[in-house]
Structure 1
Amino acid sequence: MSEKYIIGIDQSTQGTKALLFNDRGIMLRREDLSHKQIINDLGWVSHNPEEIYQNTIYVVKKLVTDAGIDKNKVAGIGISNQRETSVIWDKVTGCAMNNAIVWQCARATEICEEIESQMLTERIKKHTGLPLSPYFPAAKFSWLLKHVEGAEEKAQKHELCYGTIDTWMIYQLSKEKSYKTDFSNAARTQLFNIFTLTWDEEICEIFGINKEDLPEVCGSDSCFGTTDFEGFFEHQVPIHAVMGDSNGALFGHGCHKKGETKATYGTGSSIMMNIGEEAVLSEHGLATSLAWGVDGKVTYVLEGNINYTGAVISWLKDDVELISSPKEVEPLCKKAEQNDELYFVPAFTGLGAPYWNSHVKGELSGITRTTKKAEIVRACTECIAYQISDVIDAMTLDANIKMEKLKVDGGPTKNEYLMQFQSDMLRNNVLVPNMEELSGIGAAYLAGIALGIYDKTIFDQIKCDKYEPLMEEERWKHKKYGWKKIIQSACEKN
């Protein structure tokens, strides 16, 4: 049998990666390209969607060219994408009306406050599984309609497209022939009813959006269209899997059974627990959502999203300039005094799950005369593990499932200090896989399965390093108590 190839595209917050897999699921090559983070003086975070599309074309062309493979043997594409980042574009011209609002951006807070004042919060959660928040695209789309010149007029004429990044990419790659999204992305818009599996007319009306103008929602293993990447391929290549990046990581980890849990450490973090084929609405600050739709069935998850985890390390390097490279973090953490009372609350744009406070400000608490750079870096690193532990504590209560282990992925998982501290805070094992790019792997493997190139034994090749809890119980209790006290204090101030 002649060799076939699958390309995984992971369009993330910081950049776009293209991953090349052979028909045995082995990653042969990776190319990536960052895009500009557009941040104004109000702290609003934006991306240029046209730049993202052009970068996607570039990395795929470079990947295939530099790998030296036969282009005709590329059989399919899987896409994983940063979720909640929201774009509107002109249905006639195909051009974006404005820069995309990034998931981190809280500029739509006033829209959510107005809806909250109308006592609609619980209704929204009961339909969508999501707590009302400017984090989600519904409020972002509403903001764009109100503030982008000409957007409302085009919406009234049904000349406007709404999409998360997957929909934007599919639309552009297919030359405007395909206007689709998958269950995992639709479920994160706060416009999709996760019980009826349709766009929710009532919720759409609350946010001022006509549901008829939203994209078609498909199973995650569907064919979303075909593309030749601006003429690079001589044949049309099917886009045969689409998943939000965190969902792709859950799938890539092989968390296909009820109770299996993963955490992605990226710019922010998504902690996700597979809860099976029936939804459970959270009572502890989490979201209920869809993991994916595969083989005609949907799988539900509980999820907690944290705004700033890996981005805290970027802040240390780029903004306060305490470090010149992320590689400095681990040795500084190990060097630091371990028994002080220093805590860092990374609320640069409020806090996500399970606190959901968009007004809280960040703070460094417990500074003494002995606090130095190493201690500050250690506190900033530990806040990542504390936040993830808080989310998993909430998941355990909601799902009534005891997590047996946590599978993790993302750049910060290379930090042995952080992984050990995470295991200590959870009092549970943490598994770090021997393969990176789990989001892109998940999407690529799903595309390969859908095309009949792979079967589910493909996940067996992913092996893991294991961290086990080592911290004494009394010290663990003390550290957790200190964190709970400072996070509660920060929230009560705002």
Structure 2
Amino acid sequence: MTTADLILAIDQGTTGSTCLLVDPQLRVLARATREFPQHFPQPGWVEHDPEELYASVLAAVAEVLQTSGVAPARIAAIGITNQRETSLLWDRSDGRPLHRALVWQDRRTADTCESLRAAGHEDLIRARTGLLLDPYFSATKLAWVLDHVPGARARAEAGELRAGTIDTYLVWRLTAGAAHVSEPSNASRTLLWPLKGGGWDEELCALLRVPAAILPRVLPCTARFGETCGVPGLPDGIPIHGIAGDQQAALFGQACFGPGEAKCTYGTGAFAVLNTGDTPVASRHGLLTTVGWQIGERTTYCLEGSAFMAGAVVQWLRDGLGFVLKASEIEALAASVPDSGGVVLVPAHAGLGAPYWRPHARGLISGITRGTTRAHIARAALEGIALQIADLLRAMSADIGAPLKALKVDGGAAANDLLMQLQADLLGVPIARPTMLEATALGAVFLAGLGAGIWSDTGALAAAWQQDRAFTPSPPTTALATLRSNWERAVALA
């Protein structure tokens, strides 16, 4: 008889779906990624076709099963992590989407949010949910679809529709429509779920015009959400046992289980998240307060802040300016000079997020002289990424009233040793990089493994987490202080 001991993790992201097959020793037996199209009907509108998205998930699953050669019967559980805030509606009877999914990047409801803000509703929303009133979040996206698809609102009121974030949609499809569920880390990004839980907030649902009846049942992150049914290549009955939104999953995958522990994920942008324990902390510095995860009856809360440009800065140097042919070459170029020669690059190409919140800011390079080279600008770009993250984490420390003791890092750009050393120097705390940089997927593995009983508790997960390298901060120097002061002046001008 085949022993079921493996976790199949589905990491459904903005541009592609990744699938990993992992054993109890955290060995990745197979990995596959399938991209899917992005749709931009108008400036500021970003959509995903749900069928194309789901097809990318199935293709990644199929490739993993094929390349691993593992019998599907060995899969003990499925874990899911997903792009947050992206949301959609579908027909309850046949599962057909009413419209393409509106992606977290979509800005079409900016005027709606501004009207709600002008009417004085933002304080209520922030107090209840810990979030800002912004098109980023799900509620106004759902309301837009209800208002713009003929007959949708009447059908929703009649109970004919279902709605949810991408985790909810995937579970619906993987279970052949048997389960309409979500969990608190995704629910807390909708503007409709109160930080203290207790179910969908009826007042917020009415205010934001989303019928609570179309929203999913919310279960703890390690619950048994449903079982596979009719999924190509997978036997029926595999439990879906762990779900969390991508950034919370990354915090969990980094084993940041205690208050004050933090991680930063360096991707296209960068997301810093800090565990605040059993108590939600209201930010005084423009950060978001959000649910980290719920296991059993216990909920863990977080502070979160994002930088819009991280790896995207390197992509711009490669594609926009032609500094390098491959993104991986930027580290050697930046390391070829001892410092940036007084050059400061503020990566505000898409505005500045927390803690500045200046959407109209734009990228800036200052301090250029006749002696400035491509290498100086490349180094200034890495410094700019690290400096904005240092500002974010200092804001978090101020909110919790305690200094940051260490930082765990993940994501593609975390492989850049020079960037990580700069980050350690600017923060003045040690940085730990794990052997597995795909911490979002690892978080889904951990949650599913807990739910399936492969690991007994978070202590066992902390013991399983593996470090690749530590970066120890260099002693403070005058040059570092000058860099910070130059940065502050440049940010004010951006």
| Fold match (TM-score > 0.5) | yes
**1:459 is matched with which residue?**
462
- 1:24–1:454 CA contact under 8 A, matched in 2: no
Equivalence map 1:334-373=2 (5 Å): 334-336=335-337, 338-373=339-374
Q: Distance in 1 between matches of 2:49 and 2:452?
A: 32
Q: Distance in 2 between matches of 1:146 and 1:483?
A: 45
In structure 2, the CA distance between the partners of 1:303 and 1:250, relative to structure 1 (3 Å rule), is same
SS of match in other structure, 1:199? coil
SS of match in other structure, 2:222? coil
**1:198 is matched with which residue?**
199
Q: Distance in 2 between matches of 1:321 and 1:108?
A: 36
In structure 2, the CA distance between the partners of 1:453 and 1:337, relative to structure 1 (3 Å rule), is closer
Which letter maps to 1:171?
A: W
**2:91 is matched with which residue?**
90
**66-75 or 39-48, larger mean C-alpha shift:** 39-48
Q: Quick check: 1:235 aligned with 2:236?
A: yes
- 2:340–2:377 CA contact under 8 A, matched in 1: no
Residue by residue over 1:60-118, the C-alpha shift from the partner in whole angstroms, topping out at 9 and shown as x without a partner, is 12211221112112111001111122223333432223332322333322222111111
TM-score by length of 2: 0.93
Q: Distance in 2 between matches of 1:81 and 1:43?
A: 22
Residue by residue over 1:211-254, the C-alpha shift from the partner in whole angstroms, topping out at 9 and shown as x without a partner, is 22211111000111111462422332111000111111111111
Q: Distance in 2 between matches of 1:107 and 1:485?
A: 33
Q: How many percent of aligned residue pairs carry the same amino acid?
A: 37
Which letter maps to 1:467?
A: F
| 2:474 pairs with one of 448, 467, 470 | 470
Q: Distance in 2 between matches of 1:129 and 1:70?
A: 44
- 2:90–2:161 CA contact under 8 A, matched in 1: yes
TM-score by length of 1: 0.93
Q: Distance in 1 between matches of 2:476 and 2:262?
A: 25
Shift of residue 147 of structure 1?
A: 4.3
**2:220 is matched with which residue?**
219
Q: Quick check: 1:244 aligned with 2:245?
A: yes
Equivalence map 1:69-468=2 (5 Å): 69-148=70-149, 150-228=151-229, 230-336=231-337, 338-455=339-456, 456-461=459-464, 462-468=466-472
Equivalence map 1:19-58=2 (5 Å): 19-39=20-40, 42-58=43-59
**2:490 is matched with which residue?**
486
Shift of residue 424 of structure 1?
A: 1.3
SS of match in other structure, 2:24? coil
Aligned length: 490
Which letter maps to 2:163?
A: Y
Q: Distance in 1 between matches of 2:191 and 2:324?
A: 38
**92-101 or 426-435, larger mean C-alpha shift:** 92-101
Shift of residue 153 of structure 1?
A: 4.4
Residue by residue over 1:245-285, the C-alpha shift from the partner in whole angstroms, topping out at 9 and shown as x without a partner, is 11111111111111111111122222111111111111111
Q: Distance in 1 between matches of 2:317 and 2:40?
A: 17
RMSD value over aligned CA atoms?
2.2
Q: Distance in 2 between matches of 1:341 and 1:95?
A: 56
Shift of residue 430 of structure 1?
A: 0.9
In structure 2, the CA distance between the partners of 1:339 and 1:349, relative to structure 1 (3 Å rule), is closer
Q: Distance in 2 between matches of 1:371 and 1:93?
A: 61
Which letter maps to 2:246?
A: D
Which letter maps to 2:36?
A: H
**229-238 or 446-455, larger mean C-alpha shift:** 229-238
SS of match in other structure, 1:193? coil
Shift of residue 348 of structure 1?
A: 4.2
Q: Distance in 2 between matches of 1:150 and 1:474?
A: 65
Q: Show structure 1 runs of 5+ residues with no match.
A: none
Q: Distance in 2 between matches of 1:227 and 1:3?
A: 15
SS of match in other structure, 1:378? helix
SS of match in other structure, 1:439? helix
SS of match in other structure, 2:392? helix
In structure 2, the CA distance between the partners of 1:162 and 1:434, relative to structure 1 (3 Å rule), is same
In structure 2, the CA distance between the partners of 1:175 and 1:2, relative to structure 1 (3 Å rule), is closer
In structure 2, the CA distance between the partners of 1:349 and 1:45, relative to structure 1 (3 Å rule), is farther
Q: Distance in 1 between matches of 2:323 and 2:37?
A: 23
- 2:340–2:379 CA contact under 8 A, matched in 1: no
Q: Distance in 2 between matches of 1:156 and 1:164?
A: 19
Q: Distance in 2 between matches of 1:208 and 1:403?
A: 40
Shift of residue 404 of structure 1?
A: 0.9
Q: Distance in 2 between matches of 1:181 and 1:325?
A: 39
Which letter maps to 2:204?
A: I
In structure 2, the CA distance between the partners of 1:317 and 1:227, relative to structure 1 (3 Å rule), is farther
- 1:253–1:438 CA contact under 8 A, matched in 2: yes
